[in-house]
Amino acid sequence: MSDDDIYTDVLHAGQEPDPATGSRAPPIYQTTSYVFDDADHAAELFALDGEPMSYAAAYTGKNIYSRIMNPTTMMLENRLAKLEGGIGCMTTASGMAALDLATFLLAKTGDNIVTASALYGGTYTYFTHTAKRRGIEARFVDTLDYDAYEDAIDENTAYVHAETIGNPALVTPDLERLAAIAHDNEVPLFIDNTFATPYLCQPFEHGADLIWESTTKWIHGSGSTIGGALIDSGGTPWAEWGYEEIGEDNPAYHGINFAEEFGDAAFTFAARARGLRDLGNQQSPFDGWVTMQKLESLPLRMQRHSDNAMAVAEYLEDHPAVSWVNYPGLESHETHENATKYLKNGYGGMITFGVEGGYEVGRTICDSVELASLLANVGDAKTLIIHPSSTTHQQLSDEEKQASGVTDDLVRLSVGLEAVDDIIADLDQAIDAAT
């Protein structure tokens, strides 16, 4: 896709005027169920015949039940699949639900997950506690230590996982190298693209097999709707690589072999018919509709987030009281080279920085801002600030904090769309007040 196609796709991909009413805006199909033509039609849909999983099918009455598919969320799903360059997408109730949906399909008791350590705190906890309760071991490796990934993978590895821009250290691993390591070992590369969005990075172009993202953040962009998405690149050789839910006769779905039946789209069909059906973690039609409205302006917003963040990072870098600034767009950033290779159009809206004085000063800056909001979210149109060590990462041990890159002085900033001078003036007075 050329860089400009995204401006058209955010408006048109996956949606046509509603065939029933002509409505140009996407309708909200707020329904649980769909009337079958007759008993044969019902039986055909339950057998997954006649491609009941595509948006085109959803338009023509090939729906079963809204826990598995819904025409409104399918519009969003097809749009996100196109934006990421994938072949299928499942929207979920939250970003975490998308991670769980993929983990449910790929990992069973006794398996392990090899993951970069620079992670969102919730993902870290999911791996260390939730996955563990199900007998799945998380193996954390230094995000940039490629030999460590190689060493940690064994025959029970379910997937290799990393974030495009790791939260909160904002490191970008060498995605192509990670894909090569994973594929040499016959496991998929699973990427959290939340901080980049498809406007800045399309991980499938660099070898990823699956993407998840929290649509709660920049995809939506106004902090009013929790949601997630799991996107399938298509064509991963699941059967060859021994993924039983997808590549073997599946007793949980009357013996269907998703790989044989659906070829390149095997994961998408399995995620919907096995995953969403049994976990019930689908996105609601209303949330899908709201997210579609906001997605239309993603490229415009993401560009401004990135431009504003660059200016704020440069200001912080020049501030005498600021001891360090992490922004992937700065040449001083540890993975500036990877970020420049894998991100296009800009470096995103996230900055972390530290001010002399450590823990207390970090907290006082958060208490002193007037324009920025102190809260636990990122990717809002408004500028957001938080002190992770005392909040989002509070429950991690010192060792875990260190592995995730959360130092005591670290302040995390999600740079919004306001006038950049106002954002800088607010930070200026807050740093003055704290120091």
Ligand X SMILES: Cc1ncc(COP(=O)(O)O)c(C=O)c1O
Q: Which is nearer to ligand X, 15 or 214 (CB)?
A: 214
Min separation Cβ 195 and ligand X, Å: 6
Segment interacting with ligand X (CB under 6 A) among 53-61, 119-127, 152-160, 314-322: 119-127
Closest residue by Cα to residue 188 from 129, 257, 107: 107
Q: Which is nearer to ligand X, 292 or 378 (CB)?
A: 378
Write the binding mask 120 to 159 for ligand X: x where contact by CB under 6 A, - elsewhere: x-xx------------------------------------
Q: Residue 420 in contact with residue 428, Cβ under 8 Å?
A: no
Count of Cβ atoms closer than 10 Å to residue 432 Cβ: 12
Write the binding mask 213 to 252 for ligand X: x where contact by CB under 6 A, - elsewhere: -x-x---------x-x------------------------
| Cα 372 to Cα 384: distance, rounded to the nearest angstrom | 5
Q: Which is nearer to ligand X, 191 or 310 (CB)?
A: 191
Min separation Cβ 21 and ligand X, Å: 32
| Cα 48 to Cα 211: distance, rounded to the nearest angstrom | 24
Instruction: Based on the shown chain and the rule CB under 6 A, indicate whether residue 26 belongs to the binding site for ligand X.
Output: no
Instruction: Based on the shown chain and the rule CB under 6 A, indicate whether residue 281 belongs to the binding site for ligand X.
Output: no
Segment interacting with ligand X (CB under 6 A) among 191-199, 334-342, 402-410, 417-425: 191-199
With CB atoms as reference, the residue minimizing the distance to ligand X is 95
Segment interacting with ligand X (CB under 6 A) among 73-81, 91-99, 235-243, 426-434: 91-99
Instruction: Based on the shown chain and the rule CB under 6 A, indicate whether residue 413 belongs to the binding site for ligand X.
Output: no
Write the binding mask 155 to 184 for ligand X: x where contact by CB under 6 A, - elsewhere: --------x---x-----------------
Min separation Cβ 260 and ligand X, Å: 33
Min separation Cβ 406 and ligand X, Å: 13
Q: Which is nearer to ligand X, 120 or 315 (CB)?
A: 120
| Cα 211 to Cα 175: distance, rounded to the nearest angstrom | 12
Min separation Cβ 425 and ligand X, Å: 27
Instruction: Based on the shown chain and the rule CB under 6 A, indicate whether residue 287 belongs to the binding site for ligand X.
Output: no
Torsion angle (degrees, nearest 10) of CA 143, 228, 200, 407:
-40
Please name the amino acid found at residue 355: V
Instruction: Based on the shown chain and the rule CB under 6 A, indicate whether residue 100 belongs to the binding site for ligand X.
Output: no
Q: Which is nearer to ligand X, 243 or 289 (CB)?
A: 289
The tokens of 172 are what? 């970008």
Whole-angstrom CA distances from 52 to 48, 63, 77, 262, 272 are: 6, 6, 14, 12, 11
Instruction: Based on the shown chain and the rule CB under 6 A, indicate whether residue 195 belongs to the binding site for ligand X.
Output: yes
Instruction: Based on the shown chain and the rule CB under 6 A, indicate whether residue 202 belongs to the binding site for ligand X.
Output: no
Segment interacting with ligand X (CB under 6 A) among 17-25, 94-102, 276-284, 348-356: 94-102
Instruction: Based on the shown chain and the rule CB under 6 A, indicate whether residue 204 belongs to the binding site for ligand X.
Output: no
Please name the amino acid found at residue 284: S
Write the binding mask 367 to 406 for ligand X: x where contact by CB under 6 A, - elsewhere: -----------x----------------------------
The tokens of 301 are what? 């917003």
Q: Which is nearer to ligand X, 195 or 253 (CB)?
A: 195
Interface with ligand X (CB under 6 A), residue total 16
Segment interacting with ligand X (CB under 6 A) among 49-57, 139-147, 190-198, 330-338: 190-198
Segment interacting with ligand X (CB under 6 A) among 92-100, 262-270, 299-307, 336-344: 92-100
Q: Which is nearer to ligand X, 131 or 434 (CB)?
A: 131
Show Cβ contacts of residue 289 under 8 Å, excluding neighbours closer than 6 positions: 26, 28, 72, 76
Instruction: Based on the shown chain and the rule CB under 6 A, indicate whether residue 111 belongs to the binding site for ligand X.
Output: no
Residues that bind ligand X (CB under 6 A): 94-96, 120, 122-123, 163, 167, 192, 194-195, 214, 216, 226, 228, 378
